[in-house]
Structure 1
Amino acid sequence: MKLSQVLSHTNQVERSKFINCIDKLCQDNKDDSDLSQQLDRIDGQLKSASGNEINQLFHLVQNHFKKHLQEQIALGGPQVSLLLNILARDGNSIATIHWVESLYAKEYQKIADLSHTLVLELEEEESGDIDRLSRLRTYRDCMAVAFNNDLKSNRTAKITEDERTILNVLAERLGLSREEVFSIEHSIDPIPEHGIDSSLELLREHGAIFINRRRSEVMAADEVVEIFHEIMGKEIHDKYALRILRSLSDAELSNILKFHGHKTRGISRQDKIATIAHSGLSIRSILANDLHAENTTQNQKKDRIKILIEEMDLDIQRIGSRLQDRIDVLLDFLKKNEEDEFNALSVSGYKELLESLSQATSNVESRIRSDFEIENKETLDPEHLKSLSITPLDILYLYSNDEIKTIRNDMGLPRKGNPRTQIIESFASANDRLIENYHLLASRDLQGLANAGIDIKESDIGVKFEEVTRSILEQLGLNVDEDLRKDINTAKDKADIIVSLENDDVIIGEAKSFKNGQFAKYASTSRQVKAYVKRCEVNGHRVAQVLIIAPEFSSDFIDAADMDTDINISLLEATGLQKILAAFKQRRNPNFSPKLLTKGGLLKADLISKSI
């Protein structure tokens, strides 16, 4: 979840520690001209600043924030580092405290067991892989010196931030996994088994996480998680590393395991991938060295990376001539492509993909929960998955290449080309058809929809109209806030759409499909939206506008909306929203502002389209 969204989902008390941290960094770095200008705009009153202003300040002090976190994590000790490793994993950025505790207990036991095994191996000089043991021993000796150095000066033994930075580089150069690093540290400076509350509070105190006490929930903003990765030396998200591993051959997976002292005989492909993925190996080291056979030449390694890029169907034009250039291009593409992956499918398209996979395979939910470590009580709807930064393509990569080809074939898609790309495009084109025939959904024209090749039950048209309306608003660049909508909605009052604006303002949207003629039910619609407005205001949000979308409005409805003094209402015909989206897509650099929807009365789509 983006920082701006986290701020809109937390109250003043819950975000106070983060704001205090940003405030201190601002005061300490007033010589930064950009930062100083932004502080002047809010007159130095950071505690009363809007979520958008806080977000802008954070991005200005981001490098200082990273330095601050590095210092505090080093002081926090191994338990804080292990917690950071858990919270930085895909799917764990939003989780209940109870779930984080269970993940910590599981991780602790794994580290403790491996630590015991490594100590025994290092004490037996003649056993195992001598080269691997030599690397492990070198790292252990360096860590022991770093930890015990303070004792010479009669200070408490600990590893400082500077020492940690050097040890991270050493671990990377020696080709050690994050799991091995934690295990060696555990043998020197034991990680506490229980009591993570104090470590969570330390992370909260220094702005790394937010804690929602009402829901007993830990939240780490996406931007802060990226900083976690930088501190840990993690170049890409685990989910991207997993995509690369699933594109490698069995022999290549075995090469990686052998290099790090793991067994390969009798181990299934899935277990090989899981072992490599969970051990926290450097993906750069895997691509540059580990996956290749011992006598592989530099040219052969370069060719393999080129083939890998082609096999993953990545749209990369220039891959470079050197091995490291090709690895850089591959990793940079994966890091920068997440937003495009989300935009490939609307929320409704994402939902249909999940439903289709559930019909094709019985275990899609268990795969998602297992791979992304999501608590059983959490829903797996597109909105929640999106807040965890899990894209539709991430879901498809939960399946092996053979499984995904079978799913593609069962869907009746062409057998040539990349199956994952074909599946995504099939749902994207289905959503495009719905947008093209949006006016038919609005007027509940079942025959017209059937003639357009859209198979839908009449009972589902209302829900589908809401979903497609949200999709259109998203494509216009608006922040359709599904998490906030869930927070505000009750069993009785259920708003169709919430659009988050700056300064905790919102637009409430209501999508009304109607079969016969003009929509005229103002009294009932007014009662509905006023209840939603009240719910928003109780939750600390100001309603800037209510937007009602329908096929057409009667003159009585338009007059009643104009005369309503309790709330500001804008009306927009479905065909008008289609026109606005069409104009938006035709512009090379469209300029659409949500203020265009807040003018009040019946909106003139033609004028809005010209102003984009």
Structure 2
Amino acid sequence: MKLSSVLSLVNQVEKSKFINAIDRICGDAVKHDKKIVAQLSKLDGQIKNASSTDITQLFNIVLPYFEKSVREQLAMLGAQATLLTNILSRDGNSIARTTWVETLYSKEWDVINRRANELKSDIEALDDSESFSERKRLGIYHACFKEAYANDERINRDAKISDDERGILNVLAKKLDVTADDQAGVEHLVDQIPRNGVQDALNELREIGIVFVSRKRQTVYVPDEIVSLLHRLQGKELADKHLLRILRTFSDAELSNILKNHRKKIRGVERREKVASIMKLGVPVTQILQEDLFNEDINVNERKDRLKSLIQDLGLDLDKLGATLEERTAIILKTLNSCAEKEFNVLSATGFKELFSALQNHFPSLSKVLKQEFELEEQEELDVEKLRALSITPYDILYMLTNDEVKSVVESMGIKKRGNLRLNILNSFADATDKLIDNYAALARRDLASLKTSNIEVPEAEIGVKFEEVTKAIFEQLGLSVDEDLRRSVNTAKDKADILISLSEDDVIVGEAKTCKSGDFARYSTTSRQVKAYVNRCESAGKRVAQVLIVAPTFSEDFVESAEMDTEVNISLLEAEGLKRILDAYKSRRNPKFSAKLFTKGGLLKADLIAKNI
């Protein structure tokens, strides 16, 4: 979830520590940073009273200073805070109940403690005359870590690993090929991680501004921007889910090469186990793509060609490939690290829901697999809304399936088998959305007979939801920013807006999609109460509502007159067939010129005139 959405979701007390952290940083940096001075002048220096949007903009400006501050403070907090940030920055853990965070922490502690005890036995049995074996390398790393930790005591300081020392130890671990789980085990041997006190550690992380804790929901939130920051501090080049994508495209022989390069067992090991073992190594992705993937006799040009085919296998849409091996690697990493928004836009909300539903039908255990892979609570209800909040895209879900499972989906659904099978599945659901758009007017009128004639099967109970989702898809195809994160953050159990369109950082359009089976849509009093409640929710979140837009098959004369005379809120009305004509006109133009402001004129909008002027 984006920072702006988290800020809109939590109350003033719950975001106070984050704001205080930003305020402190601004106080130090304002003397020599003109951008911060300019942003603070917009706020009249009153950060605590700023809107969520203004705070987000300020955060983006002070991010380098914030990152430096977090790095320094995490080093002082010690091993428990490090373990906790490692857990919270993993895929799926950025929104979690505090009790579940404690459960994850306990599981992780047990794994590290078990490995530490194994390492202790190996290191104690080490003979100085022993050759440069794995046990010898671990002994060297342990001795260096112990020295780095204890050297402060000789000058009468608390023993700890400074940020500089950790950087040196990370280089040493890489050169000695000490895996991530062994590094954690050695650290636990030297500086034992406390088993309890997770709540206190969460409060410490909240103090430095990297987590938000909602007392009402008993939930911990780590915004996407801070997850990326933590990955940089950890030296993590890619999220685990993106590394998994890369590994799923490799051949068995290539997976074996990676494991051989780290002296891991490959004989009799199944493909799934190979992938899991590589994920646990903690090896930099750059090293995998430039070195570990290949046999020693493979030259640079052949390695570059392999990365070119990897780009095609991953379906990455790039403007340039890069001339060198290093450039191609950097482009792959950068594209995957910034792909979430683009991947959500590949499918409409309807398409995403239908994909998830279809995959669940094929694999009844899919939700269980996703919960295991992304460390979600067993009792958690998993739906598309939750997946979006956790930044889990349709691509991420398909890459949780093995290549054989993807093949079975393609075969059973009659999807074409050439090319990238995962992309073929996504495209088939994008086509399904287009089919609903083509029959948009019938959907608005709840005309089941017409829908069936077009081979569209929609249960009558789901038509309202489908109409809402297809309306969103149309707005997205018109190039508008349908803000699902904001909608989730402002919606309550009682007040649930259908659509929110962001015009800018501050301005939004509140959209409402209404179906009507017979006659004109005429329920103005009920509808106006709904949209005014949504407007109040948006304004409470620091947004300005530029317009309310209601889409329906047709409107009664009384409804149109009431909307035009309403003095409390600006309302525009748009007929469903008219919106479809606007989309058709937009698609027919080579360089269409369309602005959401065309929806802010008020009253019953003239769709033909809007279409003509696109």
Q: After TM superposition, is the score higher than 0.5?
A: yes
Deviates more, 1:334-343 or 1:82-91: 334-343
Q: Who is 2:180 aligned against?
A: 178
Matched, 1:481 2:484: yes
TM-score for the superposition, normalised by structure 2: 0.91
Q: Who is 1:99 aligned against?
A: 100
Q: Is the 8 A contact 1:171 1:181 kept in 2?
A: yes
Q: Who is 1:384 aligned against?
A: 386
In the TM superposition, residue 122 of structure 1 has moved relative to its aligned partner by 3.2
Q: Is the 8 A contact 2:552 2:574 kept in 1?
A: yes
Matched, 1:76 2:109: no
What letter corresponds to residue 411 of structure 1 in structure 2? M
Q: Is the 8 A contact 1:470 1:497 kept in 2?
A: yes
What letter corresponds to residue 8 of structure 1 in structure 2? S
Label 1:198 to 1:140 Cα distance change in 2 as closer, same or farther (>3 A). Answer: same
Q: Is the 8 A contact 1:132 1:260 kept in 2?
A: no
- The one-character-per-residue Cα deviations of 1:169-196 (angstroms, maximum 9, x if unpaired) are 3334444332222111111111111111
Corresponding residue to 1:311 among 313, 323, 329 = 313
Deviates more, 1:511-520 or 1:477-486: 477-486
Instruction: Provide the rounded CA distance (Å) in 1 between the counterparts of 2:362 and 2:552.
Output: 36
Matched, 1:6 2:1: no
Instruction: Provide the rounded CA distance (Å) in 2 between the counterparts of 1:23 and 1:15.
Output: 12
- The one-character-per-residue Cα deviations of 1:395-420 (angstroms, maximum 9, x if unpaired) are 00111112101111111011211110
Deviates more, 1:328-337 or 1:228-237: 328-337
Aligned-CA RMSD value: 2.9
- The one-character-per-residue Cα deviations of 1:426-458 (angstroms, maximum 9, x if unpaired) are 001111222233222112333433444433344
Q: Who is 1:190 aligned against?
A: 192
Q: Who is 2:224 aligned against?
A: 222
Instruction: Provide the rounded CA distance (Å) in 1 between the counterparts of 2:316 and 2:282.
Output: 24
Corresponding residue to 1:247 among 220, 225, 249 = 249
What letter corresponds to residue 104 of structure 1 in structure 2? Y
Q: Who is 1:552 aligned against?
A: 554
What letter corresponds to residue 441 of structure 1 in structure 2? L
Q: What secondary structure, in the 3-state scheme, does the structure 1 residue paired with 2:551 have?
A: strand
Label 1:224 to 1:426 Cα distance change in 2 as closer, same or farther (>3 A). Answer: same
Q: Who is 1:23 aligned against?
A: 23
Q: Who is 2:45 aligned against?
A: 44
Deviates more, 1:319-328 or 1:337-346: 319-328
What letter corresponds to residue 488 of structure 1 in structure 2? N
- The one-character-per-residue Cα deviations of 1:112-147 (angstroms, maximum 9, x if unpaired) are 112222233334447999454444344333322221
In the TM superposition, residue 301 of structure 1 has moved relative to its aligned partner by 3.8
Instruction: Provide the rounded CA distance (Å) in 1 between the counterparts of 2:145 and 2:274.
Output: 29
Instruction: Provide the rounded CA distance (Å) in 2 between the counterparts of 1:321 and 1:133.
Output: 41
- The one-character-per-residue Cα deviations of 1:223-246 (angstroms, maximum 9, x if unpaired) are 111110110011111111011111
Matched, 1:87 2:117: no
Deviates more, 1:266-275 or 1:105-114: 266-275
Instruction: Provide the rounded CA distance (Å) in 2 between the counterparts of 1:499 and 1:128.
Output: 67
Instruction: Provide the rounded CA distance (Å) in 1 between the counterparts of 2:599 and 2:561.
Output: 18
What letter corresponds to residue 206 of structure 1 in structure 2? I
Q: Who is 2:113 aligned against?
A: 112
Q: Who is 2:359 aligned against?
A: 357
In the TM superposition, residue 540 of structure 1 has moved relative to its aligned partner by 8.2
What letter corresponds to residue 3 of structure 1 in structure 2? L
Q: Who is 2:402 aligned against?
A: 400
Deviates more, 1:551-560 or 1:95-104: 551-560
Instruction: Provide the rounded CA distance (Å) in 2 between the counterparts of 1:362 and 1:583.
Output: 42
Q: Is the 8 A contact 2:389 2:485 kept in 1?
A: no
Instruction: Provide the rounded CA distance (Å) in 1 between the counterparts of 2:484 and 2:323.
Output: 44
Label 1:487 to 1:5 Cα distance change in 2 as closer, same or farther (>3 A). Answer: closer
In the TM superposition, residue 474 of structure 1 has moved relative to its aligned partner by 4.2
Label 1:114 to 1:362 Cα distance change in 2 as closer, same or farther (>3 A). Answer: same
What letter corresponds to residue 388 of structure 1 in structure 2? L
Q: Is the 8 A contact 1:175 1:282 kept in 2?
A: no
Q: Is the 8 A contact 1:384 1:483 kept in 2?
A: no
Label 1:591 to 1:138 Cα distance change in 2 as closer, same or farther (>3 A). Answer: farther
Q: Is the 8 A contact 2:52 2:541 kept in 1?
A: no
Q: How many residue pairs align between the two structures?
A: 610
Give % identity: 49
What letter corresponds to residue 419 of structure 1 in structure 2? L
Label 1:133 to 1:321 Cα distance change in 2 as closer, same or farther (>3 A). Answer: farther
Q: Who is 2:56 aligned against?
A: 55
Q: Who is 1:289 aligned against?
A: 291
In the TM superposition, residue 383 of structure 1 has moved relative to its aligned partner by 1.7
